[in-house]
Amino acid sequence: MSNNDDISRKAREILEASGIDVEENKGRGPSQASQLVALARERYDLFMSEDGRPYGVKKDGANIAMPLRGKAGLRSQLARIFTDEHGGSVPSQSALADAMTVLEGVAQDADPRVPHVRVARAEDGIVVDLGDADGRCVIIRSDGWERVARSPVLFRRSGAMKPLPAPIRDGDGLAKLRALLNTDEDGFRLLVAWLVASFIPDLPHPILTFRGEQGTGKSYSAKMVIGLIDPSGAPKRTAPRDIKSWATQAFNSWALCLDNVSVIPDWLSDALCRAVTGDGIVDRALYTDDDVVVLEFRRVLAMTTIDAGALAGDLAERLLTIELHTIPDRRRREENELDAAYADAHAAILASLFDLLAEVLRVLPNVRLEERPRMADFARVLAAVDTVKGWNTLDSYKATARDAVADVLDGEPFAQAVVALVDRAGPDGITLTASELLERVQAPERLPKKWPKDPTRAGGQLKRLAPALRTIGIDVDDSKRGPKPKKQRLYTLTATPERRYETASPASPNNVETGADLREQGGRCEGDASVPPRPRGDAGDAVGDAASFPASPRGDASDVRKNTRGDAGDAGDAGMHPLSDEPRPKRPCARCSRPQWNAEGSPLCGACRDAA
């Protein structure tokens, strides 16, 4: 009996065992389509993913799911196998199409499975797909990590993915990574913690944002970092043109970077937020006109930008910003040199990251946060890294988050006007309708594009800005309604005692803070004394005590009281106001809001201090 007869007989047996009627075609044996179906069912397990895509995975081989269709799919593999076993005879396109239809039906009968991309959670650890043809992977557990030949969990691949090098312990990999980046030590430690978290699949990851002026190496740094996690033929992407383009990019990569971001439209801002949290995107089902599927994916994202002020507030709260410094010409390296150094260090860097990840997995169950900031799951990982390394990445992350929010408020003229209005109000804040808010905020002469055109839009913007305003110490409450018959929504805007203390100034109550002032206050609203107050006007050297002891208007230093300890110089030109009768200006008590003067510099008045 010939080899072809053996194949035909075997195909007929498989089909009959599966309950499929075999048409003999006038004694010529099973059709090509029937033989293709038999080959597939003999060698592959067929199933559907939860988003309705059919896959096949080898019964004996790498635990890698292949889509039924596509260039790297099961269709092309079956065509190759058929040709090899039939002496070079090629199956027809119609036979392949018929076989795929049958195999999709077979896949629908199986229980749905989830094929993962690059990283997956196993029962006793985390599995990282190395992406090679053999299907090797690395399993990281709380007691260490190891390379294994076959993954215990199912992965899928895409045309965008490239292999990761097998991790090898070769010196201090983190030190090798440090030599490739031009950020400060706090920024580097925060980046290492983010990299460790990027291999943990079941938590939201903030968007890593490299910020710096031209010539700071933002794009190259982003390319290196993404390559450490999920190498790709296109590690840096331009902003997608629509939601479908974005969904395609995100679906096929675990980590990706948007390069040179200047403006992000609202739809993309929302899509990025969804990718961070793992929310779904509704899309049309493949090969249908009216059916839909929900694409659910959580991704590790990065981007590069010169200024983050154009981002939406909800997106800004999900950023982790790394500032890059200008590279002096004498220290600038050629890209070929950097590529070689990065390639040599890649395996060692991975090994060091996996070592640190194993230690983090060991201590993470016992980590508890006293305060839970936005992205609390990620914050717990930072706290675990701090426990292991003795670092302070959690505080650094909180500071960068406040700065990112302040940057967004810098780019929002309406937000700046609202902040100025609240700062002019008393300790009880201000309560008003959206219409009254539009009337009372100080509008610029030329209204910006984002300035609300009516009360409805003003209320919507205030709602969107509320989390950012809360970060800098301004609470927004919209739970109350006005009297009948209109019962309009009332907005109560109140500055926290800490903000009132920080923003208290001897200047006129009509003083309007600049965007830079907002950033400083946002970074200091929780007592961060590392951010110095910004000098006002042209006061020159009068930045010490002169900020607390202003000179008389248009006067000279002789007008200053003798007990003034700072040298105001020519500070009269700074537009400051006359001295009060007190040796220092009164500030509101942080607890009771009564005006008070305290030589000890406490935010509390004497009565509240005694009561405490």
- Domains observed in the chain: 3-109 (no CATH), 173-406 (3.40.50.300), 441-510+521-578 (no CATH), 580-612 (no CATH)
- Closest by CA to 474, choosing from 483, 461, 465, 487, is 465
Which DSSP string do the residues of 398-414 spell out, in sequence order?
HHHHHHHHHHHHHT-HH
- Is the pLDDT confidence value at 362 over 60? yes
Q: Identify the weakest region by mean pLDDT among 372-386, 416-430, 566-580.
A: 566-580
What are the tens digits of pLDDT across the range 26-62? 456 689 999 999 999 999 999 999 888 899 999 988 9
- Is the pLDDT confidence value at 493 over 70? yes
361 phi, psi to nearest 5 deg: -60, -30
Q: Which of 420-429, 510-519, 534-543 has the highest mean pLDDT?
A: 420-429
Who has greater pLDDT, 572 or 245?
A: 245
Q: Identify the weakest region by mean pLDDT among 107-121, 341-355, 408-422, 515-529.
A: 515-529
| pLDDT (mean) for 364-393 | 94
Dist CA 113 CA 237 (whole Å): 30
Strands of the sheet containing 430-432, edge to edge, are: 430-432, 489-495, 474-481
pLDDT at 518: 39
Dist CA 88 CA 391 (whole Å): 63
pLDDT at 220: 92
Amino acid 14 reads I
- Is the pLDDT confidence value at 89 over 60? yes
Per-residue pLDDT band at 539 (split at 50, 70, 90): very low
- Is the pLDDT confidence value at 564 over 70? no
Q: Identify the weakest region by mean pLDDT among 65-74, 150-159, 202-211, 287-296.
A: 287-296
Who has greater pLDDT, 411 or 16?
A: 411
CA 381 to chain centre: 15
Which DSSP string do the residues of 66-84 spell out, in sequence order?
EESSSTTSHHHHHHHHHHH
pLDDT at 475: 94
Orientation of helix 243-251 relative to helix 266-277, angle to 10°: 30
Q: Which H or E run includes 421?
A: helix 413-424
Is the CB of residue 520 less than 8 Å from the CB of residue 473? no
- Is the pLDDT confidence value at 584 over 70? no
Which DSSP string do the residues of 233-275 spell out, in sequence order?
S--EEPPPSSHHHHHHHHHT-SEEEEEEE----HHHHHHHHHH
Q: Which of 130-134, 405-409, 532-536 has the highest mean pLDDT?
A: 130-134
What are the tens digits of pLDDT across the range 432-444? 999 999 999 998 8
Rounded alpha-carbon distances, angstroms, from residue 440 to 16, 290, 415, 483, 492: 81, 49, 13, 21, 14
pLDDT at 578: 38
pTM beyond 0.85? no
Q: Identify the weakest region by mean pLDDT among 149-153, 340-344, 394-398, 512-516.
A: 512-516
607 phi, psi to nearest 5 deg: -65, -45
Beta-strand relationship, 319-323 and 207-211: parallel
What are the tens digits of pLDDT across the range 230-278? 999 888 888 888 888 888 888 899 999 999 887 788 888 888 988 998 8
Q: Give me the sign of the Cα torsion angle 331, 332, 338, 342.
A: positive
Who has greater pLDDT, 513 or 399?
A: 399
- Closest by CA to 44, choosing from 61, 56, 62, is 56
CA angle 415, 417, 421 (to 5 degrees): 115
Dist CA 192 CA 399 (whole Å): 17
- Is the pLDDT confidence value at 77 over 50? yes
Who has greater pLDDT, 394 or 518?
A: 394
In the numeric block, the tokens 């910004």 are attached to 534
Q: What tokens were used for 522?
A: 């946002």
pLDDT at 28: 60
- Closest by CA to 320, choosing from 159, 194, 182, is 194
Q: Among residues of the chain, what percentage have pLDDT more than 90?
A: 49
Q: What tokens were used for 593?
A: 């809001």
Ramachandran class of 540: left when φ > 0, alpha when ψ lies in -120 to 50, beta otherwise: left
| pLDDT (mean) for 296-318 | 78
